[in-house]
């Protein structure tokens, strides 16, 4: 895909999902090689990551999945243009919790027009849930009925599916 001719030059995105789903690993992989860090430490509150990738300047809010910080979130929701919701494909037990998390986030009025990318991460793990199952468990068609949305598979450790993820966001955020 060619960038620059269409789509926005800069995009502010919110990266959310349960703790341990791989949000920080994914954001790290999105970044240019020289900016990547070797070890991902658990995120407290949130971290703002700014970098260029796929012909776009990105500002990504890497959120902690911990609910106690949620009251901080709505303050900057106004500037969010896209939501990346990360799901751990190997964590079937917490799919229902993930669904509640997604529901809470996308019910925010500030995010009603933001495209939502559901990123099924850790698809390198043997025995992980497939996308049809996760779509079902998360009730995505119902939850996201009023949003532009898609679901993609990815692996942060294998650096798979992440270019496609950025491409989708670029083409889904309206200028």
Ligand X SMILES: Nc1nc2c(ncn2[C@@H]2O[C@H](COP(=O)(O)OP(=O)(O)O)[C@@H](O)[C@H]2O)c(=O)[nH]1
Site for ligand X, rule CB under 6 A:
17, 19-25, 40, 42-43, 121-122, 124-125, 155-157
Of the pair 43, 172, the CB lying nearest Mg ion is at 43
| CA separation, residue 2 to residues 39, 54, 154, 162 (Å) | 32, 9, 21, 16
Among candidates 96, 95, 117, 111, which has minimal Cα distance to 169? 117
Of the pair 65, 161, the CB lying nearest Mg ion is at 65
With CB under 5 to 8 Å by kind, the binding choice for 124 among ligand X, Mg ion, none is: ligand X
Query: Residue 27 has which token pair?
Result: 């954001």
Phi-psi region of 30 (alpha: psi -120 to 50; beta: other; left: phi over 0): alpha
With CB under 5 to 8 Å by kind, the binding choice for 121 among ligand X, Mg ion, none is: ligand X
Residue whose beta carbon is closest to ligand X: 22
With CB under 5 to 8 Å by kind, the binding choice for 35 among ligand X, Mg ion, none is: none
- Helix, strand or coil, per DSSP, at residue 70: helix
| Numbered residues of the known binding site for Mg(2+) | 24, 43
């Amino acid at each position: 895909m060619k960038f620059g001719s269409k789509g926005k030059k800069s995009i502010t995105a919110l990266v959310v999902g349960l703790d341990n789903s791989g949000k920080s690993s994914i954001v790290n992989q999105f970044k240019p090689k020289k900016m990547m860090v070797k070890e991902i430490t658990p995120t407290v509150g949130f971290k703002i990551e700014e970098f260029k990738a796929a012909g776009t300047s990105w500002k990504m809010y890497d959120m902690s999945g911990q609910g106690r910080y949620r009251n901080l979130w709505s303050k900057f929701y106004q500037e969010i243009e896209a939501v990346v919701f990360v799901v751990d494909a190997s964590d079937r037990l917490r799919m229902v919790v993930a669904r509640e998390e997604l529901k809470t986030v996308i019910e925010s009025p500030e995010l009603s027009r933001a495209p939502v990318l559901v990123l099924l991460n850790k698809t390198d793990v043997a025995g992980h849930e497939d996308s049809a199952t996760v779509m079902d468990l998360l009730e995505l068609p119902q939850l996201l009925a009023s949003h532009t949305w898609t679901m993609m598979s990815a692996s942060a450790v294998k650096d798979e599916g992440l270019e496609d993820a950025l491409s989708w966001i670029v083409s889904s955020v309206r200028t």
